[in-house]
């Protein structure tokens, strides 16, 4: 069945686990091609498909105020795209895709397919956390700052002239390089992040039983877990994980804007 005929399901499926009643959102951008690149830049909560279960849940895109950057719903660019996927052109400030007001508690599994192009400068950032005001990371226009305390998990990919992409995670107020982890340009990846901001340790089953301690998250890349536990980016313990964001930035003066593709996003309140 075409996704167009199942718009309210395939775009934003919202199901419940019988044992926990935790939500599962499957968001895959539908079938239609479209472009959002206003000049001067702007934000929109209507360009991307809505999550139909609740009017309170917002799906937002934002482009740089100088008109650089764009969001395109495309049918090509990465092998994992089904129907349409999201192509993001990183502007000189944040080209940002975010979802907030999610009805999640203190645990979440977030997964998505990602491909980053061969641009020689720029960065891409994923984060989840708690959104509670219009100026925070998830609802506002800015990127992550040292003073940002709404972040739980934070992942960053830094681009250079090399084919290898430098990878960092957010540890408190700082970014920490992750050694022994290789990301390459123009390569398809499945990213899975298991987050626990509840007040007790949790278990989940993937390649055996995994223990996820409070205040930590696990990262899996193409089915393999990265070594170690990654600690919270500063979010207060026990706060809900009701925000998701992915954004890109290209430095001013760079001739080529960085580009990335995303599809098959799942945000799951069950581990």
pLDDT tens-place string over residues 32-82: 999 999 999 999 999 999 998 788 999 999 999 899 999 999 999 999 999
Q: What is the pLDDT along the chain (271 residues), one digit of tens a residue?
A: 434 333 333 444 333 333 345 789 999 999 999 999 999 999 999 999 999 878 899 999 999 989 999 999 999 999 999 999 999 999 999 999 999 999 999 999 999 999 999 999 999 999 999 999 999 999 999 999 999 999 999 999 999 999 999 999 999 999 999 988 889 999 999 999 999 999 999 999 999 999 999 999 999 999 999 999 999 999 999 999 999 999 999 999 998 999 999 999 999 999 9
Q: Which residue has the tokens 């998250």?
A: 217
Q: Could you tell me which of 99, 271, 98, 233 has the C-alpha nearest to residue 154? A: 233
**Is residue 3 within 8 Å of residue 83, measured between CB atoms?**
yes
Q: Provide the token pair at 265.
A: 């996003």
Amino acid 52: pLDDT: 82
Query: How far from chain centre, in Å, is Cα 222?
Result: 16
Cα–Cα distance for residue pair 23/9, rounded to 1 Å: 14
Class of domain 3-268: mainly beta
CA distances from 194 to 15, 53, 130, 218, 231 (A): 19, 23, 16, 5, 12
Q: Provide the token pair at 188.
A: 């398809």
Q: For 135-150, b where at least 16 C-beta lie within 10 A, e where not — what string? A: ebbbbbbebbeeebbb
pTM of the shown model? 0.92
Q: Which residue has the tokens 């998701």?
A: 244
Q: For 49-69, b where at least 16 C-beta lie within 10 A, e where not — what string? A: bbbeeeeebbbbbbbbbeebb
Cα–Cα distance for residue pair 219/228, rounded to 1 Å: 9
Domain boundaries, given as residue ranges, for the chain = 3-268
Please say whether the dihedral angle defined by the alpha carbons of residues 160, 96, 144 and 28, taken in this order, is positive or negative: negative
Dihedrals phi, psi of 93, to nearest 5 degrees? -120, -170
Amino acid 10: pLDDT: 40
Cα–Cα distance for residue pair 66/15, rounded to 1 Å: 40
Q: For 243-271, b where at least 16 C-beta lie within 10 A, e where not — what string? A: bbbbbbbbeeebeebbbbbbbbbebbbeb
Cα–Cα distance for residue pair 190/192, rounded to 1 Å: 7
**Is residue 264 within 8 Å of residue 113, measured between CB atoms?**
yes
């Amino acid at each position: 069945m075409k996704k167009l005929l199942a718009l309210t399901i395939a775009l934003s499926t919202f199901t419940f686990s019988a044992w926990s009643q935790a939500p599962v959102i499957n968001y895959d951008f539908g079938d239609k091609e479209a472009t959002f690149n206003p000049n001067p830049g702007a934000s929109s909560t209507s360009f991307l498909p809505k999550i139909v279960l609740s009017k309170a849940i917002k799906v937002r895109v934002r482009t740089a105020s100088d008109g650089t950057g764009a969001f395109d719903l495309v049918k090509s660019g990465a092998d994992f795209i089904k129907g349409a996927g999201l192509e993001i052109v990183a502007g000189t400030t944040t080209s940002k895709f975010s979802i907030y007001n999610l009805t999640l508690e203190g645990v979440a599994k977030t997964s998505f397919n990602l491909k980053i192009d061969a641009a020689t400068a720029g960065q891409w950032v994923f984060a989840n956390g708690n959104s509670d005001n219009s100026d925070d990371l998830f609802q506002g226009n800015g990127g992550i700052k040292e003073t940002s305390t709404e972040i739980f998990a934070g992942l960053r990919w830094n681009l250079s002239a090399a084919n290898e992409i430098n990878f960092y995670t957010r540890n408190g107020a700082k970014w920490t390089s992750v050694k022994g982890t290789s990301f390459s340009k123009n390569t398809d990846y499945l990213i899975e992040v298991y987050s626990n901001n509840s007040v007790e340790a949790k278990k989940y089953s993937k390649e055996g039983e995994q223990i996820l301690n409070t205040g930590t998250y696990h990262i899996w890349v193409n089915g393999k877990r990265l070594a170690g536990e990654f600690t919270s980016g500063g979010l207060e313990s026990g706060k809900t994980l009701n925000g998701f964001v992915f954004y890109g930035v290209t430095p001013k003066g760079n001739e080529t804007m960085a580009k990335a593709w995303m599809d098959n996003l799942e945000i799951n309140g069950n581990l």
